[in-house]
Amino acid sequence: MAEPLSSEQAGQLAPLMKALADPVRLRLLSLVAAHADGEACVCDLNDAFDLSQPTISHHLKVLHEAGLLDRSKRGTWVYYRIKADVLAGVAGLLGGVGR
């Protein structure tokens, strides 16, 4: 990094990192990103885990509330999409670490 994080940057980054610190949520984020059209519903993600649908929905809600996923409701299903700009910002802040 050319400069250390400011207090404001650290404050913005901390909730995102906290949401990503869970292995299930990290995997969910990668599954949504890799899904066709970069969008997936809970019904598309359940089989990848040995967890109940409400538990998967809870983890997706945490990612959404942290600002990492957008969501839209269609009928009875909620579809999730990666917020690429947010992930790019996280990557940009962390990209210089260790150089």
In this predicted model, what pLDDT tens digit does every residue of 57-79 receive, in sequence order?
A: 999 999 999 999 999 999 988 99
Q: What is the number of structural domains in the chain?
A: 1
Q: Are 67 and 79 in contact (CB under 8 A)?
A: no
Longest Cα–Cα distance of the chain, Å, equals: 48
Residue at 2 is within a domain: no
> What one-letter code names the amino acid at 60?
L
Residue 94's pLDDT band, with cuts at 50, 70 and 90, is low
Instruction: Give the CATH number, domain containing residue 20.
Output: 1.10.10.10
Asked whether residue 1 is assigned to any structural domain, the reply reads no
HEC per residue, 4-60: CCCHHHHHHHHHHHHHHCCHHHHHHHHHHHHCHHHEEEHHHHHHHCCCCHHHHHHHH
For residue 97, is pLDDT > 60? Answer: no
Q: Please state the pTM of the whole predicted model.
A: 0.84
The verdict on residue 86 lying in a domain is: yes
Determine the pLDDT at residue 25.
95
pLDDT per residue over 20-62, tens digit each?
A: 999 999 999 999 999 988 899 888 899 999 999 999 999 999 9
- Domain of residue 87 covers 7-94
Q: 34 with 26: CB under 8 angstroms?
A: no
